[in-house]
Structure 1
């Protein structure tokens, strides 16, 4: 077989993801706060990019008083008003102390920054270590206590065994038990417990509760209390329902998760990207541009590039100019796409904007994509982490896309509408006779002609965070 060189022509198609295209796709799926951070970072890195100056509206001209229109105040009175020491005159009745006045006259650079005034939220570990350092214990016991505190989970429970801590610290098991008992009496009481039963028993001990029936209920019958099996408890302890209710009130006042209040989760605030207002029977879409800088090319560098700059510097400015222009174009395209998607959603879900969640219709990404003549992936990206303020509250754009349930007449209803109806039914039910999943499905079938299975009701109820009927039932 001979080897030879040969030339041939081949035509293929391939998608090339340029850096500019990657940037445009990334901007589509950024949330409002992430977009603001990305723009600010780009302004720091690109000298050709700067924020456009705000339009200063012409203020109404205020007539200036001339000497002829000054109020008739005698010279001596004016001099007295200007030079009088009012603070010494008022004495103790002054509204502000001299110390405060001195602080108000300090230079701005000498004042404390805003960040330095923010207090950090104490952690569970730091709160317990602070109490441990104040305890009258030896260095070895303090080391054991630090190991115990370091093995607590976010709920405040001990995640390891006493034997493991004793083995690692080379200390006797009895000493570890003694330090563990000390920490369990720290604030919050019951922390470092190994089970909910132990946690609640410690809290009862610190409250001075020594009733044998109450201790037995916590020690042996927590599962019965959780599943509301009250009749066997009444027979065993030979007590009335009112007595059992008093015991349950004490138990419910305890905290089974003492470390949860020191969680590190912070509140996430949402700023809507779009506002939808109702005006004269129609809906108006307004983009939320508040806080987003308006960008422009730097006039200073544009003049330099057209005059004296040559060579590598000129090429550098050309690259930065192209990057800045592409960023401004991508931001404009992002806002335009977001507007078109919200406009399409308002057309499809007009019943929701007029009447609320119960009128939400089934909708998929393909419906909106076909309506605005874009790809489904573009619609998916632009609806990620975007929020719209409607007459019925703030919702994520993904909320308007939901599956369909069949009605008896052949039409469809959105799953979110059914969830809203289930939530309303549960909120209005009799607490002593709550609706079961079968009953909810039957009511939906009877009143709304919704064909829904019991397991679907159970799934929707779990998504809404609603307990089963046995747990919702109130005996007392």
Structure 2
């Protein structure tokens, strides 16, 4: 049976993700520190790029495009660049960009030192938990065998401060007697922070209770046998078992508030993560002004030396050399253009956020209004994905603190049937406030909290209250009740 072959033409549109467009999108998603790293790397690899010193006034920032346009594929056309090098008037092309640089945005007032974040509050990386414990261990009067076993214990302590293996397994690897091994374990548990090397919560709390200035047999008994009852606030059951008055049990249990269930967390051995704001918001004359962070972003232009080489392009007889120069020029121009596009987009998004959240900046988180990506996208005339990329991993330094840009985007809840739209973060704050002020003997149930919120025109379902309560780490009403 013969097979029939046919030809047909189909017309369709699709977005071609050129390397330049991918670079622009990547720059938009990067944080401030990541972007400066990328620029520094490009400047090393691309000889066409040159940083403009602050004293040079001949190279000012040219506006490449209308600031209200989105970074679409049309903004990154390559018709001229994709044609053959012989067809391009490189001198004319470079001259059109000879003042194309990226320089800090001077449209808004400079920030005073008081408006900048306090970098003195940033903590540098300290010793790890194991290093901290071993340093103290070396000051004890121990022989080599004892030190080796104690270091073995420390090496098996996790970040929370607990042994990550069974203690009997460590004893089997040692030449010490069992009692001597237990003595080394007790020694490690007495090191700062106290309680590290415990096998469970009871062991950890007992180690901390033993070093108290005045040891309390009742407290140690509560730790050994009644932690669950203390958690459920079932003081009557503890009274029946111990014969101690309920008031004394409550007072003794308060001592546990000074103990640390995860003592290892008291030593900051983890990597320190620094957050650099991408946007500053300062209040000037009663108005909130937005300024994109340009600190550390160099002013870029095309190298004058390579411009001279392009002026004499005909003299470049080596085809590979000519292609290299043309490729680096194209890459440099796109980087400069992409940086400008990134900073303008972030600036526009931040201004839109500030415009919609005036009450938040004036009165605090309780006045955060519902806002979604689509709201900002519609105002700026861009796609939601552009707003999403512009707010990803970006932080805003404000007069009331540092906030991730994503923080401001929350869908409204509780607005059905005449209720008022509220942001989830606002509802959480209200739930916490209600729980903090409740009668401990008659704690509020999730349904009761939902009813109280509805009185403030926040119509929230009981299951929504339960979800937010759990995210806040608040126990259920039955477990909060003081019996």
| Alignment TM-score, normalising by the size of structure 2 | 0.74
The one of 427, 430, 436 aligned to 1:418: 427
**More displaced stretch, 432-441 vs 146-155:** 432-441
Corresponding residue of 2:86? none
Corresponding residue of 1:238? 243
**Matching of residue 197 in structure 1 with residue 202 in structure 2:** yes
Contact 2:49 2:302 in 1 (8 A): yes
Quote how far apart the aligned CAs of 1:414 are: 2.7
Deviations 1:213-272 (A, max 9, x none): 332212111111122111222233222344324422433333332222123235544333
Q: Flag the structure with larger Rg.
A: 1
Contact 1:48 1:321 in 2 (8 A): yes
Corresponding residue of 2:232? 227
- Cα pair distance change 1:394/1:233, threshold 3 Å: same
- Cα pair distance change 1:219/1:370, threshold 3 Å: same
Contact 1:158 1:192 in 2 (8 A): yes
Q: How does 1:54-453 map to 2 (within 5 A)?
A: 54-55=54-55, 121-168=126-173, 176-207=181-212, 211-266=216-271, 268-277=273-282, 283-307=288-312, 310-311=317-318, 312-353=320-361, 355-405=363-413, 406-409=415-418, 412-426=421-435, 435-446=444-455, 448-453=456-461
SS in 2 for 1:259: helix
SS in 1 for 2:418: coil
Q: How does 1:6-85 map to 2 (within 5 A)?
A: 14-55=14-55
- Cα pair distance change 1:409/1:247, threshold 3 Å: closer
SS in 1 for 2:332: helix
- Cα pair distance change 1:376/1:159, threshold 3 Å: same
Corresponding residue of 1:79? none
- Cα pair distance change 1:148/1:239, threshold 3 Å: same
1:250 and 1:182 mapped to 2: Cα distance? Answer: 23
Corresponding residue of 2:68? none
2:203 and 2:324 mapped to 1: Cα distance? Answer: 69
**More displaced stretch, 281-290 vs 252-261:** 281-290
The alignment yields a C-alpha RMSD, in angstroms, of: 3.5
1:417 and 1:251 mapped to 2: Cα distance? Answer: 32
Q: Any stretches of 5+ residues in structure 2 without a counterpart?
A: 58-122
1:53 and 1:210 mapped to 2: Cα distance? Answer: 68
Corresponding residue of 1:63? none
1:168 and 1:310 mapped to 2: Cα distance? Answer: 74
2:461 and 2:6 mapped to 1: Cα distance? Answer: 68
Quote how far apart the aligned CAs of 1:383 are: 0.8
1:303 and 1:248 mapped to 2: Cα distance? Answer: 80
**More displaced stretch, 401-410 vs 131-140:** 131-140
SS in 2 for 1:422: helix
- Cα pair distance change 1:263/1:390, threshold 3 Å: closer
| Alignment TM-score, normalising by the size of structure 1 | 0.75
Quote how far apart the aligned CAs of 1:3 are: 9.4
- Cα pair distance change 1:216/1:356, threshold 3 Å: closer
Quote how far apart the aligned CAs of 1:179 are: 3.5
1:457 and 1:315 mapped to 2: Cα distance? Answer: 64
Contact 1:234 1:240 in 2 (8 A): yes
Quote how far apart the aligned CAs of 1:204 are: 2.9
Contact 2:395 2:404 in 1 (8 A): yes
Contact 1:156 1:257 in 2 (8 A): yes
Contact 2:431 2:469 in 1 (8 A): yes
**Matching of residue 458 in structure 1 with residue 459 in structure 2:** no
Deviations 1:439-466 (A, max 9, x none): 32222111x2221122212222333444
Q: How many residues are matched?
A: 414
2:375 and 2:459 mapped to 1: Cα distance? Answer: 24
